[in-house]
């Protein structure tokens, strides 16, 4: 059917969609999106696609080289670790701990933090500015340090690490959402809706919210890379997810015992960690660039 659209019609895309269009022009961003999507898919399917039980110890194949090396076996594509566990399975299963749990933590933190941030952003006067200054200060303390303190109080375990990371991420969301709302709320279009007699709730959810989603998305990518790094760092220090869970950071830590003779036990989980963080950072970076582009062009 031929287009019947005879009038010149241009529909301004939503901010999120505009960013999406801009990002599509950036090959790196697209690549990062694919990589991230792939890792996410692997994580979701991990219970099905692991070639071996990640905790099963093959006593006959301890520290087996990866399959591309001379003495490797095709049975263990990425080789095995010091207890004879299949490394590929462990890396795949580890994505749940190293990516899945950070996503969960970020999601919870985003919901809580954004709500508080929105409330603070909509409220006026002293409480808002005090909060802002206080958050500035709290945010200058690295999240890893805060997480360490929480772990010191409650002791290392998966659940406690999750709590620590979530708590640490909340202020970041409060801060960015608060600032974003602050910038928007005196703009003319908001004033216009206020003059139209919209309720504050309506203004927040229907007027301002679409315009700050990009900020939240960007903050999510930043928080996600922080969460992944912090969980891995805690695991590396032995204060995070406890063995035998195949968390990437703790896999790196234990690989130190045989790194010189079996470098793959360190390099492969490291690459997994690096690729995940890189993909997220590239995504975040291109969203930031796209936002700037959009502001410039508007």
Q: In angstroms, rounded to a whole number, what is the distance separating the alpha carbons of residues 193 and 202?
A: 9
Place of tokens 């608060």: 178
Decide: is 256 part of the binding site for other proteins (CB under 8 A).
Answer: yes
Nearer to other proteins, 151 or 215 (CB): 151
Q: Is 257 in the site for other proteins (CB under 8 A)?
A: yes
- Cα(200)–Cα(247) distance, integer angstroms: 44
What is the nearest approach in angstroms of other proteins to the Cβ of residue 4? 43
Restricted to residues 33-72, the positions that interact with other proteins (CB under 8 A) are: 55-57, 59, 62
Q: Which residue is it, tokens 């709590």?
A: 163
List, in order, residues 6 or more apart from 278 with CB less than 8 Å away: 32, 35
Alpha-carbon distance of 280 to 49, in angstroms, equals 23
Cα separation of the two ends of the chain: 34
Query: Is residue 252 a contact partner of residue 266, using CB atoms and an 8 Å limit?
Result: yes
What part of residues 176-235 is at the interface with other proteins (CB under 8 A)?
A: 182, 225, 229, 232-233
Contact call for residue 119 and other proteins (CB under 8 A):
no
Among residues 109, 268, 273, 290, which is the contact residue for other proteins, using CB under 8 A?
273
Q: Please count the residues of this chain forming the interface with other proteins, following the rule CB under 8 A.
A: 56
Q: Nearest approach, Cβ of 148 to other proteins (angstroms)?
A: 6
Taking the C-alpha atoms of residue 276 and residue 30, their distance in angstroms, rounded to an integer, is: 14
User: Cis omega before residue 244 (within 30°)?
Assistant: yes
73 or 243: whose CB is closer to other proteins? 243
From 30, 119, 259, 293, residue interacting with other proteins (rule: CB under 8 A): 259
- Catalog residues that contact other proteins under the rule CB under 8 A: 55-57, 59, 62, 82-84, 128-129, 133-134, 137, 140-145, 148-149, 151-153, 182, 225, 229, 232-233, 236-239, 242-244, 249, 252-253, 256-261, 263, 266-267, 270, 273-274, 277-278, 281-282, 285
């Amino acid at each position: 059917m031929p287009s019947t659209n005879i009038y010149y019609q241009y529909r301004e895309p939503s901010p999120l969609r505009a960013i999406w269009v801009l990002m599509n022009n950036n090959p790196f961003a697209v690549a990062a999106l694919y990589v991230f999507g792939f890792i996410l898919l692997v994580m979701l399917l991990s219970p099905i696609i692991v070639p071996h039980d990640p905790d099963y110890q093959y006593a006959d194949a301890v520290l087996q080289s990866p399959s591309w090396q001379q003495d490797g076996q095709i049975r263990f594509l990425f080789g095995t670790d010091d207890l004879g566990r299949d490394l590929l399975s462990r890396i795949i299963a580890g994505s749940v701990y190293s990516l899945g749990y950070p996503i969960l933590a970020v999601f919870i933190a985003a919901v809580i933090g954004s709500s508080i941030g929105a409330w603070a952003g909509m409220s006026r006067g002293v409480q808002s500015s005090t909060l802002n200054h206080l958050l500035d200060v709290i945010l200058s303390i690295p999240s890893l340090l805060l997480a360490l303190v929480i772990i010191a109080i409650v002791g290392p375990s998966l659940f406690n690490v999750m709590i620590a990371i979530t708590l640490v991420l909340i202020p970041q969301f409060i801060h960015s959402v608060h600032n974003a709302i602050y910038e928007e709320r005196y703009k003319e279009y908001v004033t216009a809706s206020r003059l139209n007699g919209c309720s504050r709730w309506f203004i927040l959810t229907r007027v301002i919210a679409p315009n700050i989603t990009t900020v939240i998305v960007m903050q999510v990518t930043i928080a996600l890379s922080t969460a992944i790094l912090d969980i891995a760092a805690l695991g590396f220090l032995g204060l995070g997810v406890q063995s035998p869970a195949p968390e990437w950071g703790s896999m790196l830590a234990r690989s130190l015992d045989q790194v010189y003779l079996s470098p793959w036990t360190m390099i492969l989980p490291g690459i997994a960690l690096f690729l995940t963080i890189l993909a997220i950072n590239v995504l975040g970076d291109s969203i930031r660039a796209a936002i700037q582009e959009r502001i410039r062009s508007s």
